[in-house]
Amino acid sequence: MLTLPTIETSRLRLRPPAESDLPAMPAVFNDPDIYAYTRNIPHPYGDAEARAALERYARLAHEGRGLVLFPEERATGAMVGLVVLAIERDKNEAELGYAIGRAWWGKGYATEASRALLEYGFKALGLDRIHAHAMVRNPASARVLAKLGMKPVGVAPGKCEKDGEHHDAHAFMIDRLAWDGGTAG
């Protein structure tokens, strides 16, 4: 069982998904580009998909397998996307993931929210290592991972499966010592 925290950053509040997010979720996540670059966000994404996602996030937390938080803009209260740590207990590692609604791209929100989640993963959860993948065809995501101070560790051929096709992905990694070393700023 994972306890879901609320984390404040300079512009965002990362907080657990809630029933009250149901009306906003399709507007944020119903996007073919979000579908194309992520593993578990469907398209089309309507009310039923939103409800199924909330149930899935609750199940992941209950089983200790995933920590999903929704960043909201502190200035407006708007929910702008999601960040996730998929926990691999046996290795004391996690995989970072994120999606930001198109209306908020280019503001640094993916980086700001992910940085806070990495901090939480290392300091509060005591993880040893966090890794992430960005499809080679998704340079914005690779840029986010580089800005976080994660180290590129090569291209994983065919790592990301989408509609039966396997896409190459840049693999990134950071361990707790490197994070403590101040790469996060």
Ligand X SMILES: CC(C)(COP(=O)(O)OP(=O)(O)OC[C@H]1O[C@@H](n2cnc3c(N)ncnc32)[C@H](O)[C@@H]1OP(=O)(O)O)[C@@H](O)C(=O)NCCC(=O)NCCS
Closest CA to 180 of 123, 110, 95: 123
Assess 106 for contact with ligand X (CB under 6 A): yes
Q: Is the peptide bond before 44 cis (omega within 30 degrees of 0)?
A: yes
Q: How far is CA 105 from CA 28, 80, 100, 102, 183, in A?
A: 11, 9, 7, 5, 23
Q: Given candidates 12, 50, 68, 100, which one binds ligand X under the rule CB under 6 A?
A: 100
Would you state the structure tokens that stand for residue 95, as one six-digit string?
């995989």
Q: How far is CA 19 from CA 42, 82, 103, in A?
A: 19, 15, 22
Interface with ligand X in residues 11-50 (CB under 6 A): 33-34, 37-38
Task: Tell the smallest beta-carbon distance from residue 49 to ligand X (Å).
Answer: 16
Q: Given candidates 70, 98, 120, 122, which one binds ligand X under the rule CB under 6 A?
A: 98
Q: Given candidates 68, 82, 110, 116, which one binds ligand X under the rule CB under 6 A?
A: 110
Name the segment binding ligand X (CB under 6 A); options: 22-30, 60-68, 83-91, 140-148. 140-148
Task: Tell the smallest beta-carbon distance from residue 126 to ligand X (Å).
Answer: 24
